[in-house]
């Protein structure tokens, strides 16, 4: 606070917002910590993603802009895996695009919260060595190509495959970490 000239109120509000988003746990008069990952919390995030994203995509399969889809395809082909943050920012932008077509602010807000957890999980999986992001771009391209053909079932199957793959990577990261700390 001293270093950046912020008062207690903005810091407190920021921490409360992080707590509302499930990213920080606050223990009155004791302290706080970053919310740890659990298999349940990971399953909860991905369960909601698997309900939300494929349902929205299926409902609007013919309404996605072909130009935007082609742009995402180009970006997935051109994005270097060496720039991990850029890679995952593109990943989140794509999934946000899939949901934003519904033009539902409440759904978009809930999805943005989910994706903040997904980004955090992706970074965690990278640190633990459980993630291999080079697998994501072909999975994204399969979704894009099915949407370009307006093939609802193929797009839905490709999206669920991708989400399940991400779920497995996240669960493996937590399990590997738990094995390391218990050994």
* Whether residue 30 sits in one domain with residue 54: no
Q: What is the pLDDT of residues 96-119, one digit of tens each?
A: 999 999 999 999 999 998 998 899
Are residue 140 and residue 71 in the same domain, yes or no? yes
- Please indicate, yes or no, whether residues 42 and 22 belong to a single structural domain of this protein: no
Helix, strand, coil in percent for the chain, rounding step 5? 75, 5, 20
Both tokens of residue 148? 């370009």
Angle formed by the axes of helices 152-182 and 105-128, nearest 10°: 50
How many domains is the chain partitioned into structurally?
Answer: 2
| 71-87 mean pLDDT | 87
Tell me which of 3 and 145 has the higher pLDDT.
145
Q: CA-to-CA distance for 122 and 141, rounded, in angstroms?
A: 19
Residue 118: the pLDDT is 92
Grade residue 35 by pLDDT with cuts at 50, 70 and 90: confident
For residue 6, the SS3 value is coil
Give the pLDDT confidence score for residue 182 in this predicted structure: 55
Same structural domain for residues 147 and 70?
Answer: yes
> Which tokens hold the place of 159?
């999206």
pLDDT at 91: 94
- CA end-to-end distance (rounded Å), the chain: 38
* Shared-domain flag, residues 90 and 175: yes
Task: Let me know whether 94 and 69 are in one domain.
Answer: yes
What pLDDT is attached to residue 55? 97
Q: In this predicted model, what pLDDT tens digit does every residue of 123-146 receive, in sequence order?
A: 888 877 777 777 788 999 999 999
Same domain assignment for residues 138 and 49: yes
Which residue range forms the structural domain that includes residue 62? 37-182
pLDDT at 168 over 70: yes
Q: So what's the pLDDT on residue 65?
A: 98
The answer on pLDDT for 21 being more than 60 is: yes
């Amino acid at each position: 606070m001293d270093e950046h000239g912020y008062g207690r109120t903005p810091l407190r509000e920021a921490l409360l917002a992080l707590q509302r988003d499930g990213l920080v746990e606050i223990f009155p008069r004791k302290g706080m910590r970053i919310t740890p990952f659990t298999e349940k919390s990971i399953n909860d995030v991905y369960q909601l993603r698997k309900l939300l994203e494929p349902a929205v995509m299926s409902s609007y399969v013919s309404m996605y802009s072909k130009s935007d889809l082609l742009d995402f395809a180009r970006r997935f082909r051109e994005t270097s895996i060496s720039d991990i943050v850029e890679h995952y920012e593109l990943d989140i932008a794509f999934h946000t695009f899939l949901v934003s077509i519904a033009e539902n602010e409440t759904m978009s807000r809930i999805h943005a919260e989910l994706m903040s957890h997904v980004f955090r999980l992706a970074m965690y999986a990278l640190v633990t060595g459980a993630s291999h992001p080079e697998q994501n771009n072909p999975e994204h391209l399969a979704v894009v190509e099915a949407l370009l053909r307006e093939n609802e079932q193929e797009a839905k199957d490709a999206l669920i495959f991708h989400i399940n793959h991400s779920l497995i990577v996240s669960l493996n990261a937590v399990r590997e970490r738990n094995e390391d700390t218990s050994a």
